Amino acid sequence: MTAKNATTAPTSKAAAAARQDAHRGAVPTKKLKPAQTEQTAKTAKTAKTAAEAIEAAEIGKVAEAAKTAKAAKAPQATKATKATVAVKATKASKSGARSVRPAQRPGLDITQPTELLGGLSPEQFMKRHWQKKPLLVRQALPGITAPVDRATVAQLAASDEVESRLVTQQPGGRWSLRQGPIAKLPAWSKPQWTVLLQGLDLHVPAAHELLSRFRFVPEARLDDLMLSYASEGGGVGPHFDSYDVFLIQVSGRRHWHIGRRGVATSGELRGDVPLKVLADFTPEQDFILEPGDMLYLPPGWAHDGVAVDGDCMTASVGFRSPWRAELANELLVRLTDEGDESTAGSDRMYVDPLQEATSAPGLIPEQLLAFAREAVLKAVHDPLALERALGEALTEPKPRVFFEPGDALPEGLNARLDARTRMMYDAAHIFINGAAFRAGGRDATLMKRLADQRRLLAADVARLSEGARDLLDQWTEDGWVQPD
């Protein structure tokens, strides 16, 4: 499908690979770069100050050990994958239309079989399929209804707060791509066009709930819910993505053709289209997905989905995997963001009183190389600095995200994370929207609960220390947390 800079020559290996990502329209670089709006930057700063106050007020002693999000392994797209897709059909209840259940229920049991995964437990799914082989689940979400109607699709596509793209197939196998906002979509009856709405979960509660069903994958890997609306015959062409994807049919029907890269396709892209469309594709399998059906594809599986009739909506759960070089770059920027220059008279600036006159002025002094090496090593040396930089980077709000300020959390109410809030933790820190806090003891336990369940019951809120409660109030005022 498409990448934003589809026609731009890649400047690095990572950038070139990133452009292969059809599903994600956005170039991944953005995802990990500080993306604070003026408002989020301001609120993060206030919160940091509040955190310091809390530390002083002894929020806890030492943080207890906690689950650490494991770094994702590099995808092995075509290796060791079977051509046959396991098809899981659940004994779907015939109870008729049913809205998507609320997300992360307290104590979600990852060992329990679920219809969402065709009767596999999340644990089994992760072991057998995740990053390994596709899974087709018939009636994964029986009775699902589209999270938005047609009019809302048009409204969101026209909004400059939503990342949208319009893909149209022209006669003669030509394709056109238009970046949003799109003031007016083609007529619903006109065939062969698709509009893609990225980050629907940030704008539509039902989409956020749907995305939350997949929180058996670490939050650090979860990206967003993209919605595609296609008229009859619409699609984005055969392509492959570098990320895992769950494709959920929410209305209409879509005919998917899939196959392994290296078997079904050479991976070569057509040079004459503004999208990442494969030059060759001989599918290995095909399925028609009906509302409620879901197809999971690991990275690197070629796929081509064409709307069978009109009003075809597919929600896709996308993931993020940082490129190693990109992550290192992001972390080093954060780790060295201390303002060395302000510490006059220290050893932080390069000095060379023993430099001799040189007849080879082009040669880089050995001593400068040693200084550079030390600078890099020093930056990662502080045992908690890297952890902090990683947590801050991973919880940085997405570009275009704004929070609406509110009031402090009223007594007796539950606290719920705003859909746009990213909250994670490690053994020593709590991270929220790009800010890091040290916490220990009961406060840490409760804050981790808030991060895991995205909700904290009033009874738990009441157990927070005064300092931690102040912090929660601050987050509620900033719009990061909502009363519930």
Decide if residue 314 touches ligand SIN (CB under 6 A). yes
453 binds, among Co ion, ligand SIN, none (CB under 5 to 8 A by kind): none
Are 318 and 276 contacting, i.e. CB atoms less than 8 angstroms apart?
A: no
CA 295 to chain centre: 19
CB of 302 to ligand SIN, least distance (A): 10
Decide if residue 26 touches Co ion (CB under 5 A). no
CA distance to 77, 281, 396, per residue, from 263 (Å): 11, 9, 38
Q: Region of 42 please: left (phi>0), alpha (psi -120 to 50) or beta.
A: alpha
305 binds, among ligand SIN, Co ion, none (CB under 5 to 8 A by kind): ligand SIN
d(CA 182, CA 164): 8
Decide if residue 23 touches Co ion (CB under 5 A). yes
Footprint (CB under 6 A) of ligand SIN, residues 151-180: none
Interface pick for ligand SIN out of 1, 59, 225, 331 (rule CB under 6 A): 1
- Going across the sheet that includes 222-230, the strands are 86-89, 135-138, 294-297, 245-251, 312-319, 222-230, 193-197, 164-170, 174-179
Interface pick for ligand SIN out of 148, 245, 327, 464 (rule CB under 6 A): 245
Residues written for the chain: 484
Is the preceding peptide bond at 181 cis, omega within 30 degrees of 0?
A: yes
**Nearest residue to ligand SIN on Cβ basis:** 228
Say how many residues touch Co ion, by CB under 5 A. 3
Decide if residue 22 touches Co ion (CB under 5 A). yes
Are 277 and 256 contacting, i.e. CB atoms less than 8 angstroms apart?
A: no
User: Which SS3 state, helix, strand or coil, does residue 175 take?
Assistant: strand
Using the contact rule CB under 5 A, the part of the chain among 94-102, 238-246, 386-394, 451-459 near Co ion is 238-246
CB of 474 to ligand SIN, least distance (A): 38
Instruction: Using the minimum distance from each CB to ligand SIN, give the nearer residue, 245 or 409.
Output: 245
Using the contact rule CB under 5 A, the part of the chain among 22-30, 340-348, 372-380, 384-392 near Co ion is 22-30
User: Which SS3 state, helix, strand or coil, does residue 475 take?
Assistant: helix
CB of 246 to Co ion, least distance (A): 11
Decide if residue 194 touches ligand SIN (CB under 6 A). yes
Instruction: Using the minimum distance from each CB to Co ion, give the nearer residue, 59 or 85.
Output: 85
CB of 453 to ligand SIN, least distance (A): 29
194 binds, among Co ion, ligand SIN, none (CB under 5 to 8 A by kind): ligand SIN
Are 447 and 468 contacting, i.e. CB atoms less than 8 angstroms apart?
A: yes
Interface pick for Co ion out of 241, 244, 452, 460 (rule CB under 5 A): 241
**Residue 254: which of 275, 231, 276, 277 has the closest Cα?**
231
CB of 226 to ligand SIN, least distance (A): 7
The CB-side HSE value for 238 (13 A sphere, CA atoms) comes to 23
In sequence order, which residues have a C-beta less than 8 Å from that of residue 308 and are 6 or more positions away? Answer: 232, 252, 253, 254, 255, 288
Are 403 and 36 contacting, i.e. CB atoms less than 8 angstroms apart?
A: no
Are 244 and 299 contacting, i.e. CB atoms less than 8 angstroms apart?
A: yes
Interface pick for ligand SIN out of 118, 305, 322, 467 (rule CB under 6 A): 305
Footprint (CB under 6 A) of ligand SIN, residues 206-235: 228, 235
Instruction: Using the minimum distance from each CB to ligand SIN, give the nearer residue, 260 or 438.
Output: 260
Decide if residue 236 touches ligand SIN (CB under 6 A). yes
Footprint (CB under 6 A) of ligand SIN, residues 21-40: 22-23
Are 414 and 476 contacting, i.e. CB atoms less than 8 angstroms apart?
A: no
CA angle 218, 457, 36 (to 5 degrees): 50
Instruction: Using the minimum distance from each CB to Co ion, give the nearer residue, 241 or 326.
Output: 241
Binding site for Co ion (CB under 5 A): 22-23, 241
Binding site for ligand SIN (CB under 6 A): 1, 22-23, 194, 228, 235-236, 241, 245, 303, 305, 314, 316
